[in-house]
Amino acid sequence: DAWGPQQLTAPPPVATSPAAEEQPPPMPPPEGAPTASARAEGGAGACAVPLIRFSPSEQKWLQLQDEGLRLLSTLPAPVSVVAFLGQGRCGKSTTCSELAGQYFGVGNDLDPVTNGADVAAVGLGEGKGSMLFLDCEGTDNPLAQNTANYHVLALLVFTLASQIVYCEDGKPSENSLKEVAGLVEARKMIMTANIDQYKPHLRLLVIGRKFRIPDDFFGVLCSDARVDPARQDMRRAIDQAFESTRWASLPGLQEIGYSTAINALRNDIQANSHHVATSGVVLTGAEIAKVLKEICDEVSRWSRDASFKAAIEPDSTYVRVVRARLKEVAERLAKEYKPQLRLSAAGHLDDLQDPKISALLEKFDQETGSITSSAKQDAREELEQELHNVFRCMLQRSREHYASERHVVDIIADTLRCTYSLAMPSTPLTRILRKDDLDALQTQRVGLLASYKAQAKEKKLQFEAVVRDCCNQLADDLEQLFKDVVEANAALQVELDKQRAKQQQLRLRFVIMAIAAFFSLIAAAPPQRRSVAGLAATSASALQALVGWLPKQRPPLSAESVPAAQARGESCGFETHNRDSGLVQERSSAAAKSERDSSTQAEQAQQPRQEVGVHGYDVSGSPSGAISSSFGPLTNISSVPAPSTTASVPQQERPMSRASTTEMRRRHRQQRLQQRLWRMHRPNLGALTLKPELGPWMLAALGLASVVDLAIVSMTW
């Protein structure tokens, strides 16, 4: 019978037997499979497309077809590949057409129809991916152009297929096992340390079965001890080369139960076909096309000689695919990485670590969790290194920008700091600052801080920590300057308070002693000097003596010492207390007259005379000739009361003897001398001639003043 598209429709009705009625109903075709009418009409997507073709050219021996590559590039992950190998002209393409629901090229003569490999894709449902049906050129065909093509296709099948369906016609044969063993030998041409990861599932499919074949038939063959050891080794090699090995069969196309058998085979293929993956990476159709293209380029360099010994490394191809997948994930995560720094106040940039790097690495591990290849660790290290490089570059730029912004805010802060320093009064202070002055300084300090913030805001600085730290430092410096002025002002206030207290103490002591001295002088003054003018002069002199405004006095001169002083050329110390030039001339004339009357003065000095000091003691009887008091030394000077300025007129003139005349003249000269000495010594209160009975009263007054003064000093301390 001739096979063609018209025969791929539903078979004609035949008489059913009771055994056929007991079979389960056939499974519906897979989702997305075109109908029989679409396949017959050759509509879009209804036919398989060429994937691999063999060329007579030596340089492009194995060629990939654009139609098949475009089909692969449209398939998302996951993808399963089922490859059909086996004897030529046994019905492989027809079986693929029934399983895929798409048309594979068939013929009705002995010439081979499939050259190379054709492919068709079938969707398995939402989220289940798709399945590729790969129909390969058959073997054991005397009309085939080159039998080596079969081994090349077998090599490609071992590197790509999830399941291999080896087809034979009619019944199992020893030749089929030998051909499968040839596939195993072709598999050995893949020189790889991870050859076990390319173990597909094997289904030995008998098309147009003549006998019923048990499900465990291959296990029976492997356990048959009657066969020779060579055959046992061959069967054992087949069992080890595949993930699972099982025999299956289909009845003839026109026989009853064909649809049921096709559905059962389809379900078995879908259940035992894993997704194309390497190192845990489930490949997409585009990645499968890339792997296939690289393998074909490698195989194209082989010799056409059937005895060639060549090898390819599919591991390297898969590693490139895995690396491409890992690189794609790493690049996407690297683009997501945008480091953001928040510098600390101290700016320890060397110790910073971006937590986003760890988060991205964790995300990389999650997205590549199914990948078991060692390339995963390399890709992760490269990603981590790249992220750290980006972080370090950004960190260096941040350092430079940080230093620039720090320089800007330092200039602003230094300017404001200098402005505040110039506004501060110089220390040590020369005057006490009032509360208004301190408030003005405080207001200015607040205004300078506000000015700093406004200027920093105008600069639009990025690092807030720089602005904040410099602002805190400026605030501390201005506060310290203000505190220094406040402390200096407080210290000056304390010092002035001490001085005022001391002055008040001295003033009080001075007043008390002045009052005591004033009353003492009043009590000691002669009656003729108790006038208002005399008391005022006496008080002024007493005050001057108390505060020490007058220079240190020399011992007052007596009448007898004046001529001697004149003889020595001394000024007798009178000029110190009397600045009037006329009075100095008068002193000189008085000194001259006193020299002429020296004899008379000597006689007067010899006369006994009792003088009393300020305290009522006998001055002449004192061992030192002076009494010391709190007013200074009280010396024994002329204590004669000031005589009257008018000469006494005798009431009755009478003749006087020579002796009387001489005595009168002597008294008159003495009176005039006393008047001159009183005028000279009037500011000097060092010695006074007092009555003896007033001495105890003056002593009591001075003693009371001293007691009060000591009490004030004690309370002050």
SS (H, E, C) 258-310: HHHHHHHHHHHHHHHCCCCEECCEECCHHHHHHHHHHHHHHHCCCCCCCCCCC
Confidence of residue 605 (pLDDT cuts 50, 70, 90): very low
Adjacent-strand bridge partners of 169: 207
CB 66 within 8 A of CB 53: no
Question: Is 667's pLDDT higher than 90?
Answer: no
Beta pairing, strands 49-54 & 117-123? antiparallel
Q: What are phi and psi of 27, to 5 degrees?
A: -75, 145
Question: Is 567's pLDDT higher than 80?
Answer: no
Burial of 660 (C-beta count, 10 Å sphere; 0-12/13-18/19+): exposed
In this prediction, residues 184-189 reach a mean pLDDT of 68
Q: Give the Cα separation of 33 and 38 in Å (integer).
A: 10
What are the tokens at 6? Answer: 């018209």
Nearest to 164 by CA among 210, 123, 202: 202
Lowest mean pLDDT among 49-53, 403-407, 674-678: 674-678
Question: Is 602's pLDDT higher than 60?
Answer: no
What pLDDT does 672 receive? 78
Confidence of residue 82 (pLDDT cuts 50, 70, 90): very high
Adjacent-strand bridge partners of 474: none
Q: Give the Cα separation of 416 and 445 in Å (integer).
A: 9
Question: Is 396's pLDDT higher than 90?
Answer: no
> Collapsing DSSP states into helix, strand and coil, what is residue 163?
strand
Question: Is 7's pLDDT higher than 70?
Answer: no
What pLDDT does 214 receive? 79
**Cα→Cα distances 596→61, 398, 622, 670, 712, Å:** 168, 111, 31, 12, 55
Which percentage of the chain shows pLDDT scores above 90? 7
Lowest mean pLDDT among 67-71, 468-472, 644-648: 644-648
Query: Would you call the peptide bond into 633 cis, given omega within 30 degrees of 0 as the criterion?
Result: no
CB 343 within 8 A of CB 465: yes
Nearest to 418 by CA among 488, 481, 485: 481
What percent of the residues of the chain are helix, what percent strand, and what percent coil, each to the nearest 5? 55, 10, 35
Specify the DSSP element, H or E, that contains 481.
helix 464-524
Q: What are phi and psi of 133, to 5 degrees?
A: -105, 120
Which of the residue ranges 85-94, 109-118, 451-460, 662-671 has the most confident prediction, judged by mean pLDDT?
451-460
Confidence of residue 242 (pLDDT cuts 50, 70, 90): confident
Confidence of residue 694 (pLDDT cuts 50, 70, 90): low
CB 160 within 8 A of CB 132: no
Cβ neighbours, 10 Å, residue 532: 7
CB 295 within 8 A of CB 314: yes
Confidence of residue 280 (pLDDT cuts 50, 70, 90): confident
Lowest mean pLDDT among 238-242, 401-405, 425-429, 705-709: 705-709
Question: Is 219's pLDDT higher than 60?
Answer: yes
The amino acid at 279: S
Q: What are phi and psi of 253, to 5 degrees?
A: -60, -35
Q: pLDDT digit string (tens) for 338-361?
A: 765 554 444 455 556 677 888 888
Confidence of residue 705 (pLDDT cuts 50, 70, 90): low
Beta pairing, strands 79-86 & 163-169? parallel
Residue in the structure block whose two tokens are 């300057």: 481
Residues in CB range of 451: below 8 A, 6 or more apart: 416
Cβ neighbours, 10 Å, residue 135: 28
First to last CA, the chain: 144
Q: pLDDT digit string (tens) for 144-178?
A: 666 667 777 777 777 788 898 989 888 888 888 88
Adjacent-strand bridge partners of 204: 166, 247
Residue in the structure block whose two tokens are 């999650």: 366
Residues in CB range of 83: below 8 A, 6 or more apart: 117, 134, 136, 157, 160, 161, 163, 164, 165, 200
Cα 328 to chain centroid distance, Å, stands at 33
Lowest mean pLDDT among 127-141, 231-245, 339-353, 694-708: 339-353
> Collapsing DSSP states into helix, strand and coil, what is residue 86?
strand
What are the tokens at 351? Answer: 């110790």
What pLDDT does 633 receive? 40
Q: pLDDT digit string (tens) for 60-74?
A: 677 889 999 999 999
Confidence of residue 610 (pLDDT cuts 50, 70, 90): very low
Q: What are phi and psi of 415, to 5 degrees?
A: -65, -45
Question: Is 28's pLDDT higher than 60?
Answer: no
In this prediction, residues 350-376 reach a mean pLDDT of 79
CB 203 within 8 A of CB 164: yes
Confidence of residue 15 (pLDDT cuts 50, 70, 90): very low
Confidence of residue 526 (pLDDT cuts 50, 70, 90): low
Task: List strands edge to edge, sheet with 130-136.
Answer: 62-64, 49-54, 117-123, 130-136, 79-86, 163-169, 201-207, 245-250
Q: Give the Cα separation of 496 and 633 in Å (integer).
A: 35
